[in-house]
Amino acid sequence: AKKQGKDRYEIFEPAMQAVFQAGLRMEADLRRAVVRHEFELRYQPIVHLRTGEITGLEALVRWQHPERGIIPPLDFIPLAEETGMIVPIGEWVLREACRQAARWNEQREDGRPLSVSVNLSAVQLDQADLPEVVASALSNSGLPATSLVIELTESLLVDHRPSTLHQLEKIKSLGVRLAIDDFGTGYSSLAYLRRFPIDIIKIDKSFVDDVGDVPAAAALTLGIIQLGQALHLSTIAEGIEDAGQLSELTDGNCELGQGYYFAEPLNDVDMGELLFPSS
Instruction: Give the interface with ligand C2E as residue ranges (CB under 6 A).
Output: 44, 60-61, 72-74, 77, 90, 93, 119, 121, 181-182, 239-241, 258-260, 265
- Specify the residue, 29 or 182, whose C-beta has the smaller distance to ligand C2E: 182
- Specify the residue, 91 or 181, whose C-beta has the smaller distance to Ca ion: 181
- Specify the residue, 61 or 85, whose C-beta has the smaller distance to ligand C2E: 61
Question: What is the spatial distance between Cα 77 and Cα 71, in angstroms, rounded to a whole number?
Answer: 10
In the list 29, 96, 181, 255, the residue contacting Ca ion (rule: CB under 5 A) is 181
Closest by CA position to 101, among listed 133, 63, 149: 149
Q: How many helices, marked H, and strands, marked E, lie in the chain?
A: 12, 9
- Specify the residue, 109 or 266, whose C-beta has the smaller distance to ligand C2E: 266
What is the torsional sign of CA 90, 105, 138, 180?
Answer: negative
Question: What is the spatial distance between Cα 64 and Cα 40, in angstroms, rounded to a whole number?
Answer: 7
- How many of the chain's residues bind Ca ion (CB under 5 A)? 6
Which of ligand C2E, Ca ion, none lies near 259, with the C-beta cut-off 5 to 8 A by kind? ligand C2E
Question: What is the spatial distance between Cα 179 and Cα 233, in angstroms, rounded to a whole number?
Answer: 9
Does 154 participate in binding Ca ion (rule CB under 5 A)? no
Q: How far is the CB of 210 from Ca ion (least distance, A)?
A: 6
Does 182 participate in binding Ca ion (rule CB under 5 A)? yes
Does 151 participate in binding Ca ion (rule CB under 5 A)? yes
Q: Give 217's contacts (C-beta < 8 A, 6+ positions apart).
A: 207, 209, 210, 211
Helix (H) or strand (E) holding 41: strand 39-48
Q: Where does 195-246 show beta strands of DSSP type E?
A: 200-203, 234-237
How long is the chain?
279
Site for Ca ion in 209-238 (CB under 5 A): 213, 238
Which of ligand C2E, Ca ion, none lies near 260, with the C-beta cut-off 5 to 8 A by kind? ligand C2E
Calculate ∠ Cα 171-118-93, nearest 5°: 105
Site for Ca ion in 108-137 (CB under 5 A): 119
- Specify the residue, 73 or 144, whose C-beta has the smaller distance to ligand C2E: 73
Q: How far is the CB of 219 from ligand C2E (least distance, A)?
A: 22
Binding residues for Ca ion, rule: CB under 5 A, are 119, 151, 181-182, 213, 238
